[in-house]
């Protein structure tokens, strides 16, 4: 996904926001993020997103040994990456959380007007 900025702040897509929010909640494995997102984050993009966030400085990663396996008589070690928010990542998440909360409030307001057309927008939303 192309990087977008407004007023010097990173703007995340919905799935990018979900990735950072899950990591903030302690879900730090890529496939766990896919599983917990109910299909909003796809398996094919989660690792690309995680790697890009590491390069941007939003996340730090660490490798943990998953298991030892033997392939064709050669002992191999499989590693699993875990991710953690950096200070920069926490700031980006907080900025985007406020934006998504405003979007959610706007959608709720629109829904209330659609359900009950006799309602009017509050004065601060009228032109």
What pLDDT is recorded for position 1? 46
Name all domains of the chain by residue range, CATH numbers in brackets: 12-120 (1.10.10.10)
Nearest to 90 by CA among 58, 49, 46: 58
pLDDT in tens, 40-59: 999 989 999 999 999 999 99
CA distance 84 to 30: 12
> 127 pLDDT exceeds 60?
no
pTM as predicted: 0.70
> What b/e sequence results for 55-94 when a residue is b if at least 16 CB atoms lie within 10 Å of its CB, and e otherwise?
eeebbeeeeeeeeeeeeeeeeeeeeebbbebbeebeebbe
pLDDT at 2: 41
State both tokens at 83: 């991710």
Task: State the DSSP H helix or E strand holding residue 81, giving kind and residue range, or none if neither.
Answer: strand 74-85
Identify the pLDDT of residue 95.
Answer: 92
């Amino acid at each position: 996904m192309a990087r977008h900025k407004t007023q010097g702040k990173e703007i995340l897509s919905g799935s990018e926001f979900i990735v950072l929010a899950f990591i903030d909640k302690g879900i730090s494995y890529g496939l766990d993020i896919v599983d917990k997102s109910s299909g909003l984050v796809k398996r094919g993009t989660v690792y690309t997103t995680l790697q890009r966030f590491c390069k941007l400085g939003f996340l730090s990663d660490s490798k943990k040994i998953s298991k030892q396996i033997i392939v064709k008589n050669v002992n191999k070690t499989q590693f699993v990456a875990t991710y953690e928010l950096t200070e920069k990542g926490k700031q980006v998440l907080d900025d985007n959380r406020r934006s998504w909360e405003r979007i959610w409030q706007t959608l709720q307001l629109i829904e209330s007007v659609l359900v009950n057309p006799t309602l009017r927008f509050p004065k601060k939303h009228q032109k």
